[in-house]
Structure 1
Amino acid sequence: LEAGNVVIIAGFQGLSSAYEITTLGRGGSDLTAVAMAAAVGAEICEIYTDVGGVMTADPRLVPNARLIERIGYDDMLELAAAGTKVLQSRSVELARRSGLRLHVRSSFDDEAPGTWVQEVDDHMEDVLISGVALEVDEAKVTFDGVPDKPGVAAMLFKSVASAGVSVDMIVQNVSHEGATDLSFTAPIADVASLEATIGGIAREVGARNWSVDDGVAKVSLVGAGMKSQPGVAADMFDALAAEGINIEMISTSPIRISCVVRKADAARALGAVHARFGLDVPVEMADN
């Protein structure tokens, strides 16, 4: 670099804890780029993709989705975790820790503005909702009649974790006659590996029955502005109700609301929430 040479580094690979060459998993190339940019003290890391940047929703499902020109690290992390595939969450987290701005750009259009991922500035704070994400590769696991007593939930989820399952949303029903129903969602691929042992887990915790439902999807609304704006959840639920879409599970964070719906309703749910919050309307921001 000091000699002015252009250095090309292979991405998507690294070293394991045993110092063996291994792959970095999904999004590994982005992670390599961010790590190298941080290592050389760069201020900006450009990520070139087959899309024009981060959109307010998947344009294949919501044709009037628009480009997000600037988005904060937190919102981008939530969108990535909720199903947006443009950037993998590990690369965004590393960029945030390193104070590195990301510029997501199109590989096919040099004139396209792309999306800046950066610290939130005054103009970005005015944006209530950044985008809507959809995750269809989810499954819901339910344990019926779980004894409602201390330690049972811990025992159940320790066994689930031992099977290599990353749990997403958790819902526990009201206890009835000393028992409760407990449901959680997880990636379909993880749940497939769990099915061989799920019967044993159910017996271990004393559940009456168990089931796996792979006909669900997760719709998530993300925006840092919702922290200080009442009624966002009500508006989201109303948009789904207006389409006749039933909500099976709900999970929230300060800047995200996620609803589990039937997979058959997923595209309609995404479009309804996107329209309700006017995400097709461009947001004016000052220049970088």
Structure 2
Amino acid sequence: MSLIVMKFGGSSVGDAERMKRVANRIVERKREGHQCVVVVSAMGDTTDDLIDLTKQICTVPPTAREMDMLLSTGEQVSVALLSMAIHSLGCSAVSFTGWQAGMYTEAVHGKARITDMKPDRVKKALADDKIVIVAGFQGMTEEGEITTLGRGGSDTTAVALAAGIGADVCEIFTDVDGVYSTDPRIVKCARKLNEITYDEMLELANLGAAVLHPRAVEYAKNYNVSLVVRSSFNHNEGTHVKEEAAMEQGIVVRGIAYDKNVARISILGVEEKPGQLAKVFGALASEQIDVDIIVQSGVAGGRADFSFTISLNDLDKALTTIEGLRATVGFREVTSETNLVKVSIVGAGMVSTPGVAAKMFAAISDLGISILMVSTSEIKTSCVIENGRLNEVVQALHTAYGLDTDSTVFVGGPSERR
């Protein structure tokens, strides 16, 4: 008998019929002799519907605290209904909110990080031979404030629980059969990966691949959680995310990711003196704004220009923050661009293979597309380009690195985001 954590996203429990299908799958596992802990997201578009309600009701933006109070209710509906469905099938189940399950977070609303796990009630319920259903995406501070973990937070809940209770495996059920070499909605001949390393998966997730949340992968790597990504629509074998993965002959690049949620800010004519960058990026960090690619231009007349990319969602807040530094930093102008996308190649074999980045630059250049910014690490290269021809670029790169297959992949449904 093994202890399994199973996570189902919003589209997997999007209506009553899907909820019952998930319940059947869980009960099937239980009757095979496994102990089961299940993490569930809000049903379908519940979260978006709740956000739309706030726009209809509020004349001023709601506080982050109240948004967490509101959005956390979506998962509570899911866990209660799923527990009822399992009871209807003759198995005993109990549902917990994130805080009842012992999920403690930092005091940041909207995208809190998990700081501690105290899953005593989960362990007791398992000892009582119950199936445990836990609300994903949410936690509680030490002071008792409800928090949410941000988009993709249910993945993180599942992996943290798996680590906290010592599960044998954590299975993330989604709308495709596993992790693919790229988005199969763009490249129909994308290949499913049987295995991928934590580091490769973490890069792909950070770079825009929506199949797993980066924090979940980071947690899995840090606590050596056995992680499997598989489809909730069939019983096919999924993708195993692990410390080391077998390398396919001749395949150096394992995946191609893209991120449309990109904005570029340029700060022009910055006074050239020590500490300027620290002031700018320190202020952005204090506003919980993550900065990605940074490029500084040459110095002329005692002034320099530099550009960086951030999430498009943070653009307005970032511009306001930077404008507040005008007196202390001293710059001439701030500009921003939004019609951008970041395309990235990832592979553990890149570090020992010359010419990988050059092939990427050539493939993009052959399409007559300009590369605006570049970022590299040992296992990835990213290029920022204009958004209009994204699909062409992804397809060209997929072919250039020998990732095309002879078959067309199955895509099950809308992408899971929670």
Question: TM-score if structure 2 supplies the norm length?
Answer: 0.64
| Structure 1 position 122, deviation (Å) | 4.9
| Structure 1 position 177, deviation (Å) | 2.4
Cα distance change, pair 182–203 in 1 and its aligned pair in 2 (3 A): farther
For the 8 Å contact 1:140–1:184, the answer to whether it is kept is yes
- Residues of 2 paired with 1:229 and 1:193: CA distance? 40
Q: Does 1:160 align with 2:293?
A: no
- Residues of 2 paired with 1:168 and 1:199: CA distance? 20
Equivalent residue in structure 2 for 1:91, among 216, 223, 234:
216
Equivalent residue in structure 2 for 1:50, among 175, 179, 189:
175
- Residues of 1 paired with 2:346 and 2:259: CA distance? 13
Unaligned 5+ runs, structure 2: 1-125, 407-418
Name the SS for the 1:159 alignment partner.
Answer: helix
Give the corresponding residue for 1:10: 135
Equivalent residue in structure 2 for 1:32, among 139, 157, 163:
157
| Structure 1 position 237, deviation (Å) | 0.5
Name the SS for the 1:150 alignment partner.
Answer: coil
Amino acid at match of 1:155: K
Equivalent residue in structure 1 for 2:190, among 37, 46, 65:
65
Give the corresponding residue for 2:9: none
Equivalent residue in structure 2 for 1:280, among 371, 385, 404:
404
Summarize deviations over 1:173-209 as a string: whole Å, max 9, x none: 1222222210000001111222334333344322111
RCO greater where, 1 or 2, for CA within 8 Å and sep 6 or more?
A: 1
| Structure 1 position 40, deviation (Å) | 2.2
Equivalent residue in structure 2 for 1:254, among 366, 378, 388:
378
Amino acid at match of 1:139: A
Give the corresponding residue for 1:198: 322
- Residues of 2 paired with 1:66 and 1:202: CA distance? 49
Alignment of 1:180-259 (within 5 A): 180-259=304-383
For the 8 Å contact 2:251–2:401, the answer to whether it is kept is no
Give the corresponding residue for 2:252: 128
Deviates more, 1:239-248 or 1:17-26: 17-26
Deviates more, 1:77-86 or 1:52-61: 52-61
**In proportion to residue count, which structure has more helix?**
2
Give the corresponding residue for 1:285: none
Name the SS for the 1:83 alignment partner.
Answer: coil
The number of residues matched between the two structures is 281
- Residues of 1 paired with 2:301 and 2:337: CA distance? 26
- Residues of 1 paired with 2:295 and 2:228: CA distance? 37
Q: Does 1:23 align with 2:126?
A: no
- Residues of 2 paired with 1:42 and 1:125: CA distance? 33
Question: TM-score if structure 1 supplies the norm length?
Answer: 0.92
Q: Could you say which structure has the larger radius of gyration?
A: 2
| Structure 1 position 162, deviation (Å) | 3.0
| Structure 1 position 270, deviation (Å) | 1.6
For the 8 Å contact 2:195–2:245, the answer to whether it is kept is no
Cα distance change, pair 164–13 in 1 and its aligned pair in 2 (3 A): closer
Amino acid at match of 1:274: H
For the 8 Å contact 1:146–1:179, the answer to whether it is kept is yes
Equivalent residue in structure 2 for 1:115, among 224, 239, 243:
239
Summarize deviations over 1:27-55 as a string: whole Å, max 9, x none: 22111211222222222111111222111
Deviates more, 1:259-268 or 1:209-218: 259-268
For the 8 Å contact 2:266–2:305, the answer to whether it is kept is yes
Name the SS for the 1:196 alignment partner.
Answer: helix
